[in-house]
Structure 1
């Protein structure tokens, strides 16, 4: 009977460990939250839109009127692009490329009109100095001014509606949690909430203390739990910023907490609003008027995130097109070799520990499939088919993950490999075997990675193998660039041929 019970326990799907949250925390995590939009990217996109809009209007008016009468002169086109670029620079100097300004109307319109008028005065003055004033069409110039101004105003009205809609949806808010539910924490929350036009949305506070110093609410924000709950809380809902309200003198407590929280893909800052120590002004970053000290920054954000998304989807689509014939042959070989579907899906860890379905070519016999990867494939494993042995050795079984990259966007071409949620080193889960293991999930996982091209792939049967993977993954995250991704991608085929001794 004991053997039967043990067998039944082994066959039963393992329940993933989840930390129990307080009712107050669950109330927050159960709210529907949309993804955040980067104010930096929005402002950059508006700058680009302004330049393109003004350039198109100027060039269109030139070809419709001036070139038809006097022929084409490249100096006109160069002047149009120069005026559009100067306008963007003047708008920047007038501080109208701020999301908070986009929400308003009168202020940004007044600044924009004056800046656009300044650009034309500058152009007229430059034309007079170089004695070209008589050669410039006054009708074209005046039409360009009024048409450009009308287009800019229409663009800003449309942008204002969009930004206000995003603000109502919470896409522009920085969802913040505060560590420290005492008087210092209450002062910090109060300071954040009383600021005008602040994008900080304080979700609540966390504190380990249960004595008289710990408050149930801080300036109306509820206590959501203990510091150990923060990681689980941030896995279930969007958190953008963790803000410590503890004094710098509490160094030991802060370091203990940071050791738990640095695995999250969030900004972590230390509030300096009550500290008696004073640093140089450049040492601080500000949340409105609240000074803070940066501790950790979320990796790959703003324009870096846009560049990585473009790299994944453009390069990924090209690689997929090239790989389709090979994938067709592999699918046919799998179908002829053994019964069962060609593809299978497996649960893996994605960004911020999200559970994702990863596509792979089936390499095991269908009746011995292991969707949770609870049993590691070893050398000469009888579950592996003849075709499966070849495609696993060459990593061709990973090719269907291009569908994850291009169509589902839950994988990158390059990044830490997505391990199975029940991946183990002997009897220990990977996060139990390596400190800071989940820090590798601060970015989206990838089909190939820095660890893989350095030989750390295949079976994980020693502490060194999993520790080295995590070490290389963290090194990749800290040193990411598009060129680094391209280097890893180009080196992957050679690495697969030269370093495949651990792939079974």
Structure 2
């Protein structure tokens, strides 16, 4: 049955998403203009949206079966993916100067209708899959070849993950007859390879799991040869180390499967999406707040002698040094180029206007130009002064792991209140832990959550002084 094939269900999800985008765009045009015929420009816009949706949803993880089958695991990803599609469409229209060619009402109806329809479709799929799982329709019967430690480890893992995997191991078989075991962790031993072939003919079995030591190449080769004619999936259970690397991606090196143990946290499409997010949003924000930036710069110049912009060396991606931009908040005759002396409450170096800018985080706004230049991200670990970096790298384990991604204007640590002075190693260690969590769990949706929370809790804080 189609319900027993996760790859088919993933394919249905892909096709369904794209059909919804297509139909929603056409239906929005009909509702707006009361005609069934669409101009070429509108058709082209829908075509671009289809390509963006396919890629954004892939990056958001919406085409993994473990996500498709759960209700709670999809909503946040759908919001993040569809927001990315919407922002990219608006940015393309803005920068290509074609936005005036389209009805704003049509765009609003299309994006709103598309989002609602995708949510309803995906949640409906998840509930249908859940009902199939509960009724046993999606259950895959499997047998295990091997009765040693490898088989015990596999049976224990399948039993622990049974509700998620939908796999039922119905029997165990040995390579040689008279193996001396009647069961493995309660699962009966039904015989040897000859008995296995007979069992496959008379029972509904979809998979044979070979659980033998990998260094026993002769036995594994014999099992695979005997099963070549059986119409079932045949898989090879991992060695003990494999259970610690379950979530790792497999890459092929000239046809040789290689387990990826470590890779940059932002690579491939994730790197592209993060880059587009930074460049597009920073450009739009700068355009929107340019009068405010000019007003603050003028106020800084009038408030105290010195330049409006303060420049300081910071460590960025891969420990490369870059120049960070901020509105100047301190007196020029009491500055600290390396940033070794942190600002404290009531610091005499801070100007009258500077105190307000620091308290409201408005002094950080010029870093939008660092983002536009590709030196920073909107969201990421905050860049620390050179002196602090060198000091804490010696004190805190994995401190330099913060530089595996670009530093950000705001971050996971900042929205959790970890801002301002870090006068003890313990405070810095807590900040580093939040930064490393962000790096290990990055997603577009996480960035959007951080940006939204920054608006409400990230600008003004009691530790910002």
Length-normalised TM-score, structure 2: 0.48
Length-normalised TM-score, structure 1: 0.45
